[in-house]
Structure 1
Amino acid sequence: MSFLPTEDSDIVRWLRAEREARGLARIELSASLKHQGELLDDTLLFTAPDGALTFGSLTEAPRAQVQGLMRRHHASAPGLGDLALSIVCDAHAAPRIQMTNAATREHDAKEQARAEAHFDSRRYGRALAQRVAELLDAGADLSITVDPREGVSRALWRSGDGTYAQGLRYIQGDSQPKRTFTSREELSRWLAEQSDESLAKEDFPDDPRMWGVATFNREFFARKTGRRS
């Protein structure tokens, strides 16, 4: 059963009547219900014909209707997390009504991020990989800050025993290798097969929102080596 309001629902009729009585160009209701059953907001956004904005709250009867509506919706699908309701009534358009939950919002955010993601899929190639290995042999710091508050960086480094590693390094001096390479040749072979796309997606393959966040790319390597490839 759907609890989504329609144009004939009491709350929508009340909003339209308020808009007309106030001579507004637009009125919008925004409400959210935490999964614990707490209604966090029942704000009304008033938009006057001149574009001026003011805010107000629902009166007792409409507020009770919104609370009941959202709690019934939540009870019908308890595993979907926090709810959010938006009803927009313009002067010359049908009401726009949207009820979302945490699961739907997360899915939509992932799909939008997936649609907007564009990464170079060309492999870096042997020449660039070897130049990066040369930098590591020379003691270069190849790192990108992931979280400045925690002092975490994504890094490529050469260890004291002559091996190479890719992973996380911490400002305290600790490291967390994701991959280790026993030789420069092994590192070069691996890096030559990588691309901006493969490195952007490897840590969070199922979450497009995290693709490319503080990851190595061709531009970074080109800037460090001083050459394009």
Structure 2
Amino acid sequence: MADELVHIAVDRGVATITLDSPHNRNALSRQLRAELRGHLSAAIDDDDVRVIVLDHTGPVFCAGMDLKEAGGAAAGDQGVNEFPEILDQIRTGPKPVVAKLAGPARAGGVGIVAAADIAIAASTATFAFTEVRIGVVPAVISVTVLPRLLPRAAHELFLTGETFDATRAATIGLINSAVPAGELDAEVKRYTDMLVLGGPVALAATKALLRSEPGDFATMLKLSAEFFASEEGQEGITAFAQKRRPNWVPGD
């Protein structure tokens, strides 16, 4: 039986899913994709999980699709048809997802970064949309990437395939921040510590709100009133008045 290429660990409401295939730069092989899908589903279905962190071993976050598996494939038969589902699990799942990059991301790996709600990279990390340089199109990842990027930057980087650094990635909206490598763990923890304070139902609804077109005031007023009156909303209001943590916050 092949060794597992993706691991999951849960600690105080945070599920850390780790890509562990450094021999091929954490490329999205058939096995890695299947395991990533499974662990994402497990974290989404686990009521004890409030936040998901996508981490990696080795020097590269994710090199994109495993081209050794894609060679000679006909259209519609590349074995990657489930990749949109992975991106959708990250993008539309009810729990906040934080991408943690200690190293480079390429192609499909950048699509994963863009799908995450928050992305933090070491300042030494680099990025590139390398698809055009091998004669293919960054089609699937465009669904998650284009809403993040400044339009001029998207045209430049999609068309040229040029490598760019983490500082520029933050400037154009691909990631939230670039930090020194030694500060990466602390910066990710700073975000997860904040995210676990949010009500799980409210977080899911807020993720959906962020993906939707701007609503009218009447619709938004109705949504707001529903949450103020909800069990979670009332618990949050009561906890605030009593100067205690709400009951959804994981214990130490």
TM-score by length of 1: 0.22
Q: Which has the higher strand share?
A: 1
TM-score by length of 2: 0.21
Q: Which has the higher helix share?
A: 2
Higher alpha-carbon Rg: 1
